[in-house]
Structure formats: structure tokens, C-alpha cells
Amino acid sequence: QVQLVESGGGLVQTGGSLRLSCTASGSTFNGYAIGWFRQAPGKEREFVAALAWNINSTRYADFAEGRFTLSKDNVKNTVSLQMNSLKPGDTAVYYCAADRHFTSRTWSIASYYPDWGQGTQVTVSS
């Protein structure tokens, strides 16, 4: 099990940028997939992006492709989500999650992730 701490949410205007970070404690990310999900009020939690730590492979939801970018810091044991060209529709609580037993089929599905952060609010004003 790995404990996850998120940071970096906030309020930004349409077209602005935010950088979210997810840091592991109690373990390293070695062998994990780290996923980002979001949940807006009244909506289901949806996949945003995921990174396979050891091979540095990434996957993005269609709405994130070209606007959001994942990166990792091996020293800080952190995965960051750089979000550019933000829109009001991106407003949500963003969560990072970790799964050590992921596959190419499961790493975009929230229910397969056992470890979750506390979430960070992202609000994009129009």
C-alpha cells in the first residue's frame, strides 16, 4: 500500500494553467501505475490520465490529450499533471491513485485502483 498526497489545485481563469502533483509516502512508485481521475458535482468519477512508472508510458483521456501532460520525478517520488488551456468544464475534484497490479486494460478504470489521495479542487472560472 502507498499513501498519496496531492497538491496544486486552485482557482484559475479560462485558458489558464495549473500543475497538480501526487507524492508517494510509505513506499516508492516502483512498479505502479499512477492514475489521475476527476469528479465534478453530480457526475461520476472519470479517467484523466495515467503513467506507468517503470516504463514511463502514459495514457490520456480524449479531453486531456494535447492539453494535459504527465511527468515524473524519480528523486521526489512524484507524478505531476500539467494542465493547460483549462476550461470551465475541467472544474472538478482531482484525485491521484496508484495500482501495482495494473494492465493495459485496467489502468484507466477507477475501480481497479486500491490507493487514493485525498483529492484537490480545481476550479476554472469563465
CA–CA dist 112, 101 (Å, integer): 9
Please report which helix (H) or strand (E) contains residue 121, including its range: strand 120-125
Going residue by residue through the chain, which has 126 residues, state the pLDDT in tens, using 9 for 90 and above: 899 999 999 999 999 999 999 999 988 999 999 999 999 999 999 999 999 999 999 999 999 999 999 999 999 999 999 999 999 999 999 999 999 999 989 999 999 999 999 999 999 999
pLDDT at 104: 87
Measuring CA to CA, how many Å separate 111 from each of 68, 75, 85, 114, 125?
22, 29, 29, 8, 30
- The one-letter amino acid at 24: A
pLDDT at 26: 85
